[in-house]
Chain A
């Protein structure tokens, strides 16, 4: 393969970004094998925030795994030329994690409820639903290629 091997690119915040609560920005190559490492990194950085450890260790871990897998597989179509950007921001009473891919976006309203009898026995289609259930607040940008998950102090 030509070029440098794919790797995570971690960028520490600039001073003005720190002033806005940004703790970390990670660029994740569009390869599923990087998901676990990226999630570990973000979870570690999100400890010692106002959000309870249990929510960071379980809810954030699972929700971010889902968001990254969706961004890599569906957003970027696993295109090695594209990456997914994860930005972690902390405020007084919450942690906000934004996951942005380089795809065309999607309409979250078009994703069927995986709990219906038609969908229950399907092996796929639960990722977005789990994110919705595990975080306190979930929003998308207009294009649909970036989601923002918020976890708050209990």
Chain B
């Protein structure tokens, strides 16, 4: 399974990405976030601790869902990225659009 969605104790929705977030599975990720949004969840953490790579479609999908989440008054942060993934966000300046934490626990607690 590529995406696992879990609720933390404080109500934050943690989306774990196993493998990659790319053109072939980005829509599945968007659907998972939409379902959670429709269920009333507005606080999201993306856990990239088990993610090998993300392409520009995956980056774009994160931009899209973050816009949607913020329109609902919520927020979305990112966690657990290795140095290659972090480099992608820095290169594209998307690190200025998202809060990025070293660990998922830290990101969940920050809400």
Q: Which residue of B lies closest to A126 (CB)?
A: B56
Task: Using A32-B23, A65-B22, A69-B55 as known contacts, say yes or no to A120 and B60 having CB atoms under 8 A apart.
Answer: no
Q: Give the interface residue-count category, chain B.
A: 20 to 34
Which B residues touch A124, using CB under 8 A?
56, 60
Which of A83-91, A127-135, A136-144, A146-154 touches B? Answer: A127-135
Which A residues touch B93, using CB under 8 A?
115, 120
Bound-complex Cα distance A121 to B94 (A): 9
Tell me which of B61, B92, B97 contacts A129 (CB under 8 A): B92
Tell me which of B54, B57, B61, B88 contacts A69 (CB under 8 A): B57
Bound-complex Cα distance A130 to B94 (A): 12
> Is the CB–CB distance between A122 and B63 below 8 Å?
yes
> Is the CB–CB distance between A126 and B53 below 8 Å?
no
A114 interfacial by beta-carbon distance below 8 Å: yes
Q: Is the interface of A mostly helix, strand, loop or mixed?
A: helix
Q: What is the 8 Å Cβ interface bit string for chain B, positions 30-55, against chain A (1 contact, 0 not)?
A: 00000000000000000000001111
A94 interfacial by beta-carbon distance below 8 Å: no
Which B residues touch A35, using CB under 8 A?
22-24
Which A residues touch B67, using CB under 8 A?
121
Which A residues touch B97, using CB under 8 A?
120-121
Q: Which residue of B lies closest to A37 (CB)?
A: B24
> Is the CB–CB distance between A126 and B84 below 8 Å?
no
Bound-complex Cα distance A124 to B57 (A): 7
> Is the CB–CB distance between A66 and B63 below 8 Å?
no
Tell me which of B54, B64, B84, B88 contacts A123 (CB under 8 A): B64
User: Of A66, A123, A133, which is in contact with the most chain B CB atoms at under 10 Å from its CB?
Assistant: A123
A78 interfacial by beta-carbon distance below 8 Å: no
Can you report 26 A-B residue pairs in the complex whose CB atoms are below 8 A from each other? A32-B23, A32-B24, A35-B22, A35-B24, A58-B84, A62-B53, A62-B88, A65-B22, A65-B23, A66-B56, A69-B23, A120-B94, A120-B96, A121-B63, A122-B60, A122-B63, A123-B60, A124-B56, A124-B60, A125-B56, A126-B92, A129-B56, A129-B91, A129-B92, A130-B92, A133-B91
User: Could you list which residues of chain A lie within 8 angstroms of chain B, going by C-beta atoms?
Assistant: 32-33, 35-36, 58, 61-62, 65-66, 69, 114-115, 120-127, 129-130, 133
